[in-house]
Chain A
Amino acid sequence: MTRRGEIMFDKAAGQQSIVGKSMATRDAYGETLLELGKKRDNIVVLDADLSGSTKTGKFAKAFPDRFYNIGIAEQDMIGTASGLALSGKIPFASTFAVFETGRAWEQIRQTVCYSNLNVKLIASHGGITVGEDGASHQSTEDIALMRVLPNMTVIVPSDGYETMQVINVIANFYGPVYVRLGRAKVPAVMPAEYEFRIGKAYPFHIGKDTNIVAMGIMVSIAIEAAKILKDAGIDAGVINMSTVKPLDTETLLNAARSCRLIVTAEEHSIIGGLGSAVSEFLSENFPVQVRRIGIKDSFGCSGKPEELLKLYGLTTDDIVETVKEALKK
Chain B
Amino acid sequence: MDKRDTVFLKQQAKRVRIEILKMLTEAGSGHTGGSLSAADVVTALYFYKMRHRPDVPNWRERDRFILSKGHAAPLLYVVLALTGYFDISVLKTLRKIGSPLQGHPCSKTLSGVEISTGSLGQGLSISNGIAIGLKIDNLNSRVYCLLGDGETQEGQVWEAAMTAAHYKLDNVCAIIDLNGLQIDGPVSKVKAIEPVASKWSAFGWHVIDIDGHDMEAILKAFDEAETIKGKPSVILARTVKGKGVSFFEGKVEYHGIVPTRDELEMALKELDGNGQ
Contact = CB atoms under 8 A, between A and B. Distances in A.
Nearest to A91: B129
Contact of B136 (A75, A86, A89): A89
A287 interface: no
Interface residues of B, number: 33
A167 to B, nearest CB: 21
B88 interface: no
Nearest to B129: A83
B133 A76 contact: no
B166 to A, nearest CB: 8
A86 B130 contact: yes
A71 B129 contact: no
Interface string B119-157: 101111111111111101100000000000000000110
Given A83-B127, A115-B115, A68 B132 contact: yes
Contacts of B163: 70-71, 73, 76, 80
A122 B122 CA distance: 21
B160 to A, nearest CB: 5
B167 A68 contact: yes
Nearest to A151: B108
B114 A86 contact: yes
Contacts of A44: 132, 136
A75 B114 contact: no
A191 to B, nearest CB: 39
Main secondary structure of the interface of B (DSSP, over half): helix
Given A70-B163, A73-B159, A73-B162, A83 B119 contact: no
Nearest to B128: A80
Contacts of A75: 121-122, 125, 155-156, 159
Contact of A87 (B118, B137, B155): B137
Q: Which of B117, B118, B126, B131 has the most CB of A within 10 A?
A: B126
Contact of B129 (A86, A106, A115, A116): A86
A65 B136 CA distance: 8
A294 to B, nearest CB: 31
A92 to B, nearest CB: 13
For chain A, the bracket of interface size reads 20 to 34
B129 A79 contact: yes
Contacts of B107: 115
B175 interface: no
B116 interface: yes
Contacts of B126: 79-80, 82-83, 86, 111
B116 A79 contact: no
A172 interface: no
A88 interface: yes
A87 B129 CA distance: 8
Contacts of B125: 75-80, 82-83, 107
Contact of A79 (B108, B133, B137, B156): B156
B219 interface: no
B129 A82 contact: yes
Given A70-B163, A79-B160, A87-B137, A107 B132 contact: no
A107 B108 contact: no
A80 B129 contact: yes
A78 B123 CA distance: 11
B235 interface: no
Interface in B159-177: 159-160, 162-163, 166-167
A186 B273 CA distance: 71
A188 to B, nearest CB: 36
Contact of A110 (B122, B133, B162): B122
A217 B235 CA distance: 51
Interface in A40-83: 44, 65-66, 68, 70-71, 73, 75-83
A110 B119 CA distance: 7
A114 B155 CA distance: 22
A75 B137 CA distance: 25
A114 B132 contact: no
Interface of A: 44, 65-66, 68, 70-71, 73, 75-89, 91, 106-107, 110-111, 114-116
Nearest 6 A-B pairs (CB), nearest first?
Answer: A83-B129, A87-B133, A79-B125, A76-B159, A73-B159, A80-B129
Given A83-B125, A89-B133, 17 more contacts: A68-B167, A70-B159, A71-B166, A73-B159, A73-B162, A76-B125, A77-B125, A79-B123, A82-B126, A82-B129, A83-B133, A84-B132, A86-B114, A86-B115, A86-B126, A110-B116, A111-B126
8 contacts: A73-B163, A75-B125, A79-B129, A83-B126, A87-B130, A87-B137, A110-B118, A111-B126
